[in-house]
Structure 1
Amino acid sequence: MCRGKIRMFAFGTIDDATNYTMTSHLFRIGKICMVSVLLIGFTLCMAQHHPRAEFNFRNDNDLYLFNKQDQYYTNGIFFSIRKTADSTKLAAAEANRIWGITIGQKMYNAYTANIHYIEEVDRPITAYLFLAASFDRYFESEQFVSVTAEIGTIGQRALGEQFQESIHKAFRLYDIAGWQYQLKDALGIDAAARYGGLLYRNPASWFDVSGHVEATLGFNHTGFSVAPSFRFGRINPLHQSVYTSSRLQARNSPMARELFLYYRPRLHFVGYDATLQGGMFLRDKGPVTHTPARWVWYNQVGVMYAKQALSLHLQYIFYTKEVPGMFFRHRYGSVGMGYRF
């Protein structure tokens, strides 16, 4: 009976809270993207040397789905710089080697960003602010391996409330509420390793199947996932593809244009998730924590384009509930851009 009342209140809140001009919001985002593309295009025309570094930007947001949704994993913003290794240091079977640094923030709401009662918090509220360093190796056999070290924090130090409030004010969105229920501050370190490779490619080279496994161990995140991938279109080998973030080349290898669709299902086992359970070593983790669903199924579909120094991607992700008691499943869109120089 109580859950029914909460659901009725929830739907009413969503209708009121999301009564804003989404078209205006997306129009502003579109203008920013257009200016960015024009600036990168101008720089591309001026640059003639072999790229040795790469800048990447990505933004995840459920507003990209045009469904007036502002819930759960509601926003992610990431900036990274990657650099090739010295080609003389590559092993005989090694096609490429890249170092990278990423700074990012992920933001998590309950079913809405306008929460007034603690009973409405069906998914813990927090942001996750992190800095990561990665090392990627790609082989002529189209296998690849990556290791990542990451330090991150949840809670007030992750600046979720400040960032979300500034975004809503800048785009004249509804007033946010509920951050008084966010998780307590907790700092943690994680390490991750990923291994994958090509499984099949058709003779005409317009379709292939690859796969990877990934394991993470740490104080913020511990888990394991396995994911096959299917690409359709104009595709490059995995050691020269935007799909594996390997168009930046240690050797001065010629790079063909890419334009393809892809689908990647992923099964993820959750051992520990600080954004759901709070800091691992805290006694007082926050006003609301939840035990995660141990198995989460993700589906990701998207399109990628890459030519010379520029890469673009657009993707759609939907997945099962992170917490068994969440009101809804979740889905969001993602846009990204890369430039090699």
Structure 2
Amino acid sequence: MRKILLLVVLFPSVLFSQKLDHTASYRDIPSERYFRFNYDNDYFDATDRNYTQGYSFELVLPVLEKNPINRLLIAPKENSKRYGVAVEHIGYTPHYYERPEIQDGDRPFAAAIMLKSFVITTNSSKKSRLSSSLSLGLIGPGAFGKEMQVGIHKATGNDIPLGWKHQIKNDVVVNYNVHYEKQVLRYENIWSVQADASANLGTLFTNASIGVNSSFGILNQPFSANTERKFKLYAYIHPAVSVIGYDATLQGGVLNKESPYIIDSSAVERLTAQFNYGLVLQTRTLYFEYARSLITREFETGTPAGWGGIKIGFTF
């Protein structure tokens, strides 16, 4: 716990409003072996701008405890632990993505791809969860954001994006994330409330946030050592506020300053609010989720944005 407080104090300008978050308690899969596919798209919000698409492949296995990167992660000895890896890809576009010219005042085209190593730890007696991760990857043309979006638009008959030649240039992604969550209220197995805090530090996102989430329905037990896998059906809400230090999808890479168009640091909104909500269905071996997210504008001339997503997983 002292390490978490230290991170929050040292990095106050550090997004729990991660675009592909999988460590929140309401997304818990009670197994040491599972696979989950996460897919986000602003199509669910009837738009095609800002955070336009993201996906990840997530794998948790006991053997991944041997991953040498885990030595850099925070895993208290008294907590139960689950180790995993994930491949993540995210993409951003301005409003008029079909125009070939730079769109001053709107966000730049940007895409990033990362390999994430993570650990999720649980302290059953204190009803708390601590997750940490290290993501290594690339932002820029090497993340094939153009190829991905153009291919999808051709397949679906939509307008072809023509502005990717102005995207954020190639740069390295090294990002460290810590997320702490504490259950503060639970009424039997039908309602719970949790407080959470998170910090990101790195070349892609540097930010910090606090939030509260609540679940209601036939609930899971993410703060219990009991890995029972029964039928669960519940809804959740999760408002959060973030303080933004750096966002490479807006400001360009930390090392490569050759991007043709970026949002100036003075125009980046330093305080954002995000509201997540969704519905989760779990059986003994399967996981299904429909999620929606809304976020306030992320730069001065931007607009509020929204997206939705589906998550499908299974244990084995």
TM range (shorter): 0.7 to 0.9
Q: Which runs of 5+ in 1 are unaligned?
A: 1-49, 241-248
Question: Which one has a larger percent helix, Structure 1 or Structure 2?
Answer: 1
Partner of 1:329: 304
- How many angstroms does 1:84 deviate by? 3.7
Q: Which moved more, 1:109-118 or 1:159-168?
A: 109-118
Matched, 1:338 2:313: yes
Give yes or no for contact 1:269–1:295 (8 Å, CA) kept in 2: yes
In structure 2, C-alpha distance between the alignment counterparts of 1:140 and 1:295, rounded to whole Å: 33
Q: Which among 281, 284, 306 is matched to residue 308 of structure 1?
A: 284
- How many angstroms does 1:197 deviate by? 1.4
Give yes or no for contact 1:72–1:112 (8 Å, CA) kept in 2: no
Structure 2 CA distance for partners of 1:169 and 1:310, relative to 1, 3 Å: same
Q: Which runs of 5+ in 2 are unaligned?
A: 1-29, 66-74
- How many angstroms does 1:332 deviate by? 0.8
- How many angstroms does 1:190 deviate by? 1.2
Matched, 1:279 2:253: yes
- How many angstroms does 1:129 deviate by? 0.9
In structure 1, C-alpha distance between the alignment counterparts of 2:31 and 2:56, rounded to whole Å: 21
List aligned pairs for 1:53-132, cutoff 5 A. Answer: 53-65=33-45, 67=46, 69-84=47-62, 94=79, 96-120=80-104, 122-132=106-116
Q: String of CA shifts for 1:156-179, please: whole Å, max 9, x gaps.
A: 111110111111122222222111
AA in 1 matched with 2:213: S
AA in 2 matched with 1:116: P
Structure 2 CA distance for partners of 1:322 and 1:99, relative to 1, 3 Å: same
List aligned pairs for 1:155-166, cutoff 5 A. Answer: 155-166=140-151
Moved over 3 A (4+): 84-87, 90-94
Partner of 1:144: 129
AA in 1 matched with 2:180: Y
Q: String of CA shifts for 1:149-206, please: whole Å, max 9, x gaps.
A: 111211111111011111112222222211121111111211111111101112x431
Matched, 1:134 2:113: no
Q: Which among 173, 176, 186 is matched to residue 171 of structure 2?
A: 186
Give yes or no for contact 2:170–2:256 (8 Å, CA) kept in 1: no
3-state secondary structure, aligned to 1:215: strand
The answer to which structure, 1 or 2, has the higher relative contact order (CA under 8 A, 6+ apart) is 2
AA in 2 matched with 1:276: L
What is the aligned-residue RMSD (CA, Å)? 2.3
3-state secondary structure, aligned to 2:223: helix
3-state secondary structure, aligned to 1:118: coil
TM-score normalised by length of structure 1: 0.75
Matched, 1:218 2:202: yes
Partner of 1:175: 160
Give yes or no for contact 2:274–2:296 (8 Å, CA) kept in 1: yes
3-state secondary structure, aligned to 1:64: helix
Give yes or no for contact 2:105–2:301 (8 Å, CA) kept in 1: no
- How many angstroms does 1:52 deviate by? 4.3
In structure 2, C-alpha distance between the alignment counterparts of 1:264 and 1:274, rounded to whole Å: 25
- How many angstroms does 1:224 deviate by? 0.4
- How many angstroms does 1:236 deviate by? 2.4
AA in 2 matched with 1:148: S
Give yes or no for contact 2:32–2:82 (8 Å, CA) kept in 1: no
Structure 2 CA distance for partners of 1:199 and 1:52, relative to 1, 3 Å: closer
In structure 1, C-alpha distance between the alignment counterparts of 2:112 and 2:159, rounded to whole Å: 23
TM-score normalised by length of structure 2: 0.81
Percent of residue pairs identical: 24
- How many angstroms does 1:121 deviate by? 5.6
List aligned pairs for 1:37-56, cutoff 5 A. Answer: 52-56=32-36
In structure 2, C-alpha distance between the alignment counterparts of 1:197 and 1:118, rounded to whole Å: 45
Structure 2 CA distance for partners of 1:219 and 1:91, relative to 1, 3 Å: closer
AA in 2 matched with 1:184: K
Give yes or no for contact 1:191–1:218 (8 Å, CA) kept in 2: yes
Give yes or no for contact 1:232–1:262 (8 Å, CA) kept in 2: yes
In structure 2, C-alpha distance between the alignment counterparts of 1:54 and 1:122, rounded to whole Å: 39
In structure 2, C-alpha distance between the alignment counterparts of 1:274 and 1:226, rounded to whole Å: 21
List aligned pairs for 1:242-253, cutoff 5 A. Answer: 253=227
Q: String of CA shifts for 1:17-50, please: whole Å, max 9, x gaps.
A: xxxxxxxxxxxxxxxxxxxxxxxxxxxxxxxxx9
AA in 2 matched with 1:60: D
AA in 2 matched with 1:212: D
3-state secondary structure, aligned to 1:117: coil
Give yes or no for contact 2:54–2:89 (8 Å, CA) kept in 1: yes
Give yes or no for contact 1:198–1:238 (8 Å, CA) kept in 2: no
